[in-house]
Chain A
Amino acid sequence: MQKTMKHRNLGRLQVSAVGLGCMGMSHTYGATADKREMTELLAQSVDMGYDFFDTAESYGTQADPHDNENLVGQALKPFRNRVVIATKFDPATDFRSTMPQFASGSFEKNRPLFALINKFAAEHQATPAQVALAWMLSKKPWIVPIPGTRSLSRLKENAGAADVEFSADEVRAIDDALDGMEMSDVFSGLK
């Protein structure tokens, strides 16, 4: 008789006592497993009670360097609000791991900032990144942000920031909120 999956605390998360490492579905263990098979397997694992899935940005193949995240994203989409997805980047060569805004505790500290950005994003039907860029653009007519990206969808998204326009009142409202807000440190930021 199959018992129901036990759960345990992982920091502040509550997850299935056994998670599923998805790396082998795309990476390292020879030819990529059939995507349909693995999508089916992932659905079956959710059914069994697994709710913690681990992948990484770098798990991929020559054909698709991010094959694993793509697979996991697609397969778990129907269950997204029931599962916990962990992914990772390579700290040894990825300087973001040393940036204060990504340190543990910073996410919590920045919640009011996220709430502010999300509010304006909803009001303007824009993404949070577009709101941040649009705010910068609104500061001076001769300011040009140069956000980096390696993805076509972000490239389009960032370009779209130029179409998000804030009124003077809105900019003032954002600035006032920012002035009164606690935030984490950021890499290369002013103190």
Chain B
Amino acid sequence: MKYRNLGNSGLRVSAVGLGCMGMSHAYGAAADKREMTELLAQAVDMGYNFFDTAEVYGTPESPHDNEELLGEALKPFRDKVLIATKFGLRFDMESGTVPYPLITDSRPAAIRNSVEGSLRRLQTDHVDLYWQHRVDANVPVEEVAGVMQDLMREGKILHEAFRKLPRRLYARLVPFAR
């Protein structure tokens, strides 16, 4: 496995990471947990050290299935791997339509709630890379970045990222970049 530096983060990651969403979500029925636990161990063995999940990757029966899977499966290797997870999206289970529509929510209180849940499910004291899953039109990016800074100061997350951020918003995040 080759390694490279991820963006400007200083994180040294396997050149190819592992997106774990499909193990629990979006691609039909969730895969067998034992199989996936085994697969994750094999991935570590092969040199993969970058694993991506999200709070929202789950099923109606197990809404955070993916983080729980990773928490359990990567526990023996926690100090050898980097875990990225995401906040800011949830399913509207009250909508009555299936598939459930997605709701964005990057309010500071919601982010704080999410990170606590993610840390607990991932069985770790820190998230290596914390992404905003989707831009929330109701919350300015500066406010989100502010919460990220706080979480970094508290040691709960090490790095932040924004997914699918429109270009015009990047400029506003420059003051927050280390």
Contact = CB atoms under 8 A, between A and B. Distances in A.
To the question of whether A and B form a pair in one complex, the answer is yes
Interface of A: 57-58, 65, 89-90, 92-96, 133, 137, 141-142, 144-152, 155-156, 158-159, 161-163, 188
Contact of B4 (A90, A144, A146): A144
Contacts of A147: 16, 18-19
Interface of B: 1-2, 4-8, 13-23, 26-29, 31-32, 35-36, 39, 42-43, 46-48, 50, 52, 59, 98-99, 164
Contact of B16 (A58, A65, A93, A162): A162
A82 B21 CA distance: 36
A156 B46 contact: yes
Contact of B17 (A94, A146, A163, A188): A146
Contacts of A57: 28
Given A58-B28, A159-B47, A148 B6 contact: no
B17 A93 contact: no
B38 to A, nearest CB: 8
B81 to A, nearest CB: 13
Given A146-B50, A150-B35, A159-B48, 17 more contacts: A57-B28, A58-B29, A65-B31, A90-B28, A93-B26, A93-B29, A93-B99, A95-B27, A144-B15, A144-B17, A145-B17, A147-B18, A148-B19, A155-B46, A158-B18, A161-B16, A162-B2
The 5 A-B residue pairs whose C-beta atoms are closest, nearest first, are: A148-B19, A146-B17, A162-B15, A162-B2, A94-B28
Contacts of B15: 137, 144, 161-162
Contacts of A188: 164
Nearest to A188: B164
B99 A158 contact: no
A89 B27 contact: yes
B18 A149 contact: yes
A58 B30 CA distance: 11
A162 B19 CA distance: 16
Contacts of B47: 159
B134 to A, nearest CB: 11
Given A162-B2, A163-B2, A144 B16 contact: yes
Contacts of B36: 150
A65 B36 CA distance: 13
B23 A150 contact: yes
Contact of A162 (B1, B22, B52): B1
B19 A146 contact: yes
Contacts of B22: 148-150
Contacts of A142: 4-8
Residue with the greatest number of chain B CB neighbours at <10 A, chosen from A148, A152, A188: A148
Residue of A90, A142, A156 most packed against chain B (CB within 10 A): A142
Nearest to A148: B19
A188 B2 CA distance: 28
Contacts of B50: 144, 146
Contact of B39 (A65, A89, A150, A158): A150
B4 A93 contact: no
14 contacts: A65-B32, A65-B35, A92-B98, A93-B28, A93-B59, A95-B26, A142-B4, A142-B5, A144-B4, A144-B13, A145-B16, A146-B18, A147-B19, A156-B46
B99 to A, nearest CB: 7
Contacts of A162: 1-2, 14-16
A94 B39 contact: no
